[in-house]
Amino acid sequence: MRTPQEDDAPGSGAAHDRPLTFIDLFSGCGGFSLGLEWAGLRCLAAIDFNESAIETFRRNHPEVPVALVKDLTKFAPKELDAALGSERVDVIVGGPPCQGFSKARQVGGSNHGERLVYDPRRELFREFLKYVAYYQPKVFVMENVPGMRSAAGGAFFTAVQVDSRELGYRVIPYEVQAWRFGVPQKRIRQLIIGTRRELPLFIPDRYIRETHVDLGEPEPKGKQSAVTLGEAIGDLPDLTSGDERFIRTYDLAARKEHVKRYGKRYLYDVLKAHKAKQLLGHTSRPHSDRDLRDFRRLREGETSRAALARGVEMEFPYDREHFKDRYTRQHRDQLCSTIVAHLKKDGLMFIHPTQARSLTPREAARIQSFPDCWRRLRFDPLVRIVPTEN
């Protein structure tokens, strides 16, 4: 275990002379790191077992000295220490895989209920805490899905907090509604925030300030209206199903009209669209003629369940009792549904508001607030930047 350095002592000015440093565990392609860098922190290292994710991380975080493809169940903190040298780690962040807790995996009681199915990924929070125990950071932030609270009757949610307290940390669970921070989707995430006992108590209401209101809510001073799907993707060129060209040009006339309607707060301030030289990953996967006909039958913002209820004849072959919501056309003036990994496979729950196709990888990236200059390798699917689960 590293010994806390003198600059951690209350009243010491040394820590204020440099940006806080952090390491990103289970980093994926680097979305967590991107947010912290925007907040002024400096990333020292990122680790993930997925080679494609780390390739993407390196491409978009070239200033980070260490980005490793490693299995954290086999890669010890001391090994990372050899690469970091004398660098002090102030913060550790990470999102252990969430599939083991997701409420989307309830069939047969896989994550919830009496017939809980064993999933080793639920234990990976312990690998995260090994690094906390070794580096003794001032703060750690672990991110997962809200289902972590209830999976296995809350046993893992409790274990994370108990184990963290044994390491000398005060622990605060905090649930984040992403749209209240300017993200245009219905994403909810569970944070577990730990601070060392000798530091001031972390009070979420004091340190975490929501920046946006919910749709339809009044806008108090200092807060903005929610970012809608239309604001996030409305300037992008129209596509037909099956147009899989990876590189294309922006429609600058459409962008001009878009800015007139929505302003620059998301398109420029977050997505940095004006800094991207080419539009990448705005590719539309092919759909069957049957699916395309069903897409056109849906009104904007409507699910197949609602369409069937109003008497529309749909052609899809799936069980009408269990898959009534399988087709969903998103609405421009609402939040997008939470982006999920299986969007890459079919996208039927992510039909474009006005076009007969599912959302593109670039649209999925924008909905998650990745800038337009965020890139994958030329021939690899950009959609790999989306989360691994609901």
CA–CA distance from 107 to each of 6, 110, 111, 255, 372 (Å)? Answer: 52, 6, 8, 43, 37
CA atoms within 13 A on the CB side of 315: 10
On the 0-12 / 13-18 / 19+ scale of CB atoms within 10 A, 31 is buried
Amino acid at 311: G
On the 0-12 / 13-18 / 19+ scale of CB atoms within 10 A, 296 is exposed
Compute the distance between CA of residue 151 and CA of residue 157 in angstroms, rounded to an integer. 8
Give the pair of three-digit tokens for residue 111. 């994550």
Q: List the catalytic residue out of 29, 43, 98, 336.
A: 98
The number of residues in the chain equals 390
Q: Is 98 a catalytic residue?
A: yes
Q: Look up residue 5 and give its DSSP letter.
A: P
Contacts made by residues 237-241, CB under 8 angstroms, sequence distance 24+: 237/279, 237/282, 238/355, 239/282, 239/283, 239/284, 239/355, 239/357, 239/360, 240/284, 240/355, 240/356, 240/357, 241/284, 241/285, 241/286, 241/287, 241/292, 241/356, 241/357
| Residues tagged active-site | 98
